[in-house]
Amino acid sequence: MSRRLPVAVALLLWSPLTSADDVSFSRDIRPILAANCLGCHGTDEGHREGELRLDTFSGAKAQHQGRAAIVPGKPDASELLTRVKSHDADSVMPPHAASCRLSHAAS
């Protein structure tokens, strides 16, 4: 089953071909992360998984173990996109045990 998702679309839109006015982290990307990721990667430091904070742009693009969750303009370098598209049960995000499910975008 394909995991083509809104997050992937948002990351792809955040490219050098798109002006900064066209895509906003707060307006376009953060709501998707809030609905699907911030339960584990949000403001609650005591509950945050993997020391990854996705509720702020600076947190989302910060380096963790040599990789960043979001690399603006470089979706293939963005760990978040790699994890969302993964078929590996140990690395896929959100994990299969999570109550949230990302919707699938049309091919």
99 vs 107: CA distance, rounded Å = 24
Domain boundaries, the chain: 6-85
pTM exceeds 0.75, yes or no: no
Question: Tens digits of per-residue pLDDT, 20-61?
Answer: 557 777 888 888 888 888 888 999 988 888 889 998 889 999
Rounded-to-integer distance, Cα 34 and Cα 76, Å: 22
pLDDT by residue (tens digit) across 61-105? 999 889 999 888 888 899 988 888 888 989 888 888 887 776 655
Report in angstroms the alpha-carbon separations of 8 from 64, 69, 72.
20, 12, 12
The partner residues of 67 in beta bridges, in order of sequence, read 64
3-state secondary structure of 43: coil
